[in-house]
Amino acid sequence: MTISTKGRYALRMLVDLAEHQDRGYIALRDIAVRQGISKKYLEQIIPLLNQSDILLATRGFQGGYRLFGRPEEYTVGQILRITEGKLAPVACLKHDPVECSRSGQCPTLPVWRGLYQVINEYLDSITLQDILDGNVQKR
């Protein structure tokens, strides 16, 4: 499993918004400059996050984006699932139930299910607030 640039940049953008939430709505260009990410690339990520009710947006001179909720309400797993889809380590686990014709006799499927569970539990245990607080290495 590899997290795409889209997933990594979405997480960085949301951490940036969480870090600057006391400033109200943040212009996308400010996030782009601080994070060293193309504004155009961030514009491609915004619709995904808007559909998931993570962001609030306003237009105009003071326009920009802010988190809909508090940083402790959003997990890394939730954010990556929005941008990446399922976080399955192998293709056969991307569908539920497993669609592989060998799943009934596959001796390695439990290994991949276990890994998938660990990935989800780990990523779902980390919030944006944890990242801001530097509490990620302690897990």
Under 8 Å CB-to-CB from 26, ≥6 apart: which residues?
A: 16, 17, 20, 64, 65, 66
Is residue 108 domain-resident?
no
Residue 10 sits in a domain of what CATH number?
Answer: 1.10.10.10
Establish if 71 belongs to a structural domain.
Answer: yes
Residue 74 belongs to some domain of the structure: yes
pLDDT in tens, the chain (139 residues): 789 999 999 999 999 999 999 999 999 999 999 999 999 999 999 999 998 989 999 988 888 999 999 999 999 999 999 999 999 998 888 877 877 788 788 898 899 999 999 999 999 999 999 999 998 875 5
Domain that holds residue 51: 5-85+127-133
Q: What angle do CA 5, 24, 16 make, to 5 degrees?
A: 25
User: Which has the closest alpha carbon to 19: 76, 67, 81?
Assistant: 67
Radius of gyration of the chain (CA): 17
Number of domains in the chain: 1
Question: Is residue 46 assigned to a domain?
Answer: yes
Evaluate whether residue 114 is within a structural domain.
no
Is residue 34 a part of any domain in this protein?
A: yes
Rounded Cα distance, 69 and 89, in Å: 30
Q: Which amino acid is at 23?
A: R
